Amino acid sequence: MVAKRKSTQFGDMRGWIKALDAAGELHRIEAEVDWNVELGTIARLAQGPGTGPALLFNNIRDYGKNSRCHQVFTGGLSSARRVAMMLGLPTDTHPRELVKLGRTILTEGIAPKIVKSGPVKENVVTGKDIDLSEFPVPQWNRIDGGRYVLTYGGVVTKDPDTGVMNVGVYRGMVAGKNKIPILMWRAQHIGHHVTAWQDKGHNEMPIAVAIGWEPSLPFVAGSPVPKGICEYDVIGAIRGAPVELVKCETVDLHVPAGAEIVIEGYLQLDPKTYTMEGPFAEFTGYVAGDASPKPTIRVTAITHRTDPILRGTIEGSLPGSYSENGTCSSIMRAATAWNVLDRAGVPGVTDVWCPPVQTGINTLVQIKQSYRGQAKQVANALWGSSAAHVRYKHVTVVDDDIDIHDYAAVDWAIAFRVNAGEDDIVIMPSTFGAGLDPSTRRRDRNVAQFGTGKWHRVLIDATVNLDYDPDPDLGGARFPPKVWPEQKDIDAVQKRWGELGFAKRTTDDR
């Protein structure tokens, strides 16, 4: 059963910040912080393994209160607690329940509502007045190729034939007063739009970026919403009310009326117009995406609220420091994988999980096994789906007695249920994959030549091998019994637990 949730209408990012503050999930930083490396370092250290607070920087060097923008907000979704808040659930909701909810939430929809104006139109900047340096865009990492203004904004494009908009998350670097080169892949939805516009003979594509709104915007924009479904519809379903949209000033696109900042323009598609971008500290936890010419947004307008708050994020999950992308991907990539398996007709799937430290590159699947080869069916179904473009590189399948949210249990299953000589390790060579993965050879990361990266994928079948003959000495079982005590013996000892001087425990403690 999926957990019941409440509608979550925060109104805008300021309403979300207020809600976080009330819940004790926000840390305000009043001391002066340098936008150059220091702010990003603080953000990375503070987020912890999904345990740190959201951060609001109120005093940024070179950007006083009389500046066009003087605040930066980050970390709003870097914990499962805050993801649960966004979804209208108790903060202590188990990630397993978030995954179950995520299975349906990307297919639900409430259409957006077009309004005449909104707070994001309080200030309109065009022409020679456009200057991206007026915003406190961080140099998030010392190794980054520049200051990245697009890290967690909703990038809006549309299909030229259907008019259906897509809202995605892509990285974008400031390369001048009105230039933002971005990293995109042909296999992504924005790449599909680029191809469609080029097929019609266009060298530019309208684009807009909404920076800072309700948390459901970056959450959905960074999730694998099926092609043809508008992210604004999904966001509406999450919040239980339509997203109010306003038309951009210079392009035929719509953005949230209550956004903090909107950057409008045209994505230049002619390689002659490309601008150098990269490298960047990426979601892999490694620096990735070498400096190279990239498609570039030619900014034609910036609209923003009075005293806007710049929304950004420190990318890259590492042990002990989980990014917002890692936290959200752990939930939504698992939910998407579960749906892929259902649609492929794989029976017996009882749980799916992608630990946040690696953002869904390694996927854990728990099944109730009923026939041999079932684990291989799981891997084949996942790898054959479009959702596998930058995820599900390594798939581990376990039986339903293994808790996939407990890595010690998974590790134990791999140790004693995997025999490489019995086809429990399977390699699928030369598939499409994430070009940002440093384990991919440099020559295989050429986006212009290949359109994507190359992965050799691995299945680890850590289920009990049904190819083994039943053992009459084990009552027909294929594996010997585990050494965990029988329940009657546990119950008898628990009755004496206090008498024996131990703290109270439950049968779930292992």
Which amino acids are annotated catalytic?
A: 282
State how beta strands 287-288 and 453-462 pair: unpaired
* Distance (Å) of CA 56 to CA 33, 276, 414: 11, 31, 42
427, burial (CB in 10 Å: exposed 0-12, middle 13-18, buried 19+)? exposed
- Cis, peptide link before residue 279, omega less than 30° from 0: yes
Task: For Cα atoms 101, 105, 108, give the angle at the middle one, nearest 5 degrees.
Answer: 145
Give long-range contacts, CB 8 A cutoff, 24+ apart: 198-204: 198/269, 200/160, 202/160, 202/269, 203/268, 203/269, 203/270, 203/273, 204/266, 204/267, 204/268, 204/269, 204/298
Q: Is 69 helix (H, G, I), strand (E, B) or coil?
A: coil
Contacts of 322 (CB under 8 A, 6+ apart): 47, 48, 49, 50, 78, 79, 356, 357
| Chain length of the chain | 510
- Token pair in block for residue 508: 């779930």
